[in-house]
Amino acid sequence: MKYLFILLVLGGALHAYMTRNPSASGDDAYAASRDLPGSVKADIGDELVLYSAVWCPYCKQAKEWLAENKVPYRDCDVEKEAACNTHMQAMNTRGVPVIAYKGKVSYGFNEDWLRASLQRK
C-alpha cells in the first residue's frame, strides 16, 4: 500500500509538471518529448498506446479525452499485462499515464502533446 501511495504521488507530480509547465505545451511539448526505446517502438509501431492503471485518475482523464476526440488507441494496463510492464521498464518509468505514439513518448496526460502528435500523422 505504501508503494501504491508513492506511485500515485509521483504520478500526480509528473502530471502537474507536464500540464503546468509553459514550455511543455503545443509544439514545444512535442519537441521536448522523448524517443521511444527501440524495443518498445518495434512492439507497438505507430499505434497510440496509453499505459495506464485502473486506479489512476489521470489515466481516466486521458481515456475520456481520447474518447471525446474519437482517437483510436490501445489501453495497456501495466498491472494486468506483463508486456506493458516490460515496456514501462524499457522506458525507465514507473508512473502512469504514459502515452506512446509514432516513436515518441509523453509522461503524464498532456493535451497539447497529444494534439501536436496527432497533427503529425
Please tell me the chain's helix, strand, coil percentages from 3-state DSSP, rounded to the nearest 5: 55, 15, 30
Say what the pLDDT of residue 42 is. Answer: 75
pLDDT tens for the 121 residues of the chain, in order: 666 556 555 555 554 444 434 344 455 555 456 777 777 877 888 899 999 999 999 999 999 999 999 999 999 999 999 999 999 989 888 899 999 998 889 999 999 999 998 988 6
DSSP state of 23: G
Q: Indicate the domain borders of the chain.
A: 2-119
Say what the pLDDT of residue 66 is. Answer: 97
Give the three-state DSSP class for 101: strand
* Superfamily (CATH H level) for 2-119: Glutaredoxin (3.40.30.10)
Q: What is the pTM of this model?
A: 0.72
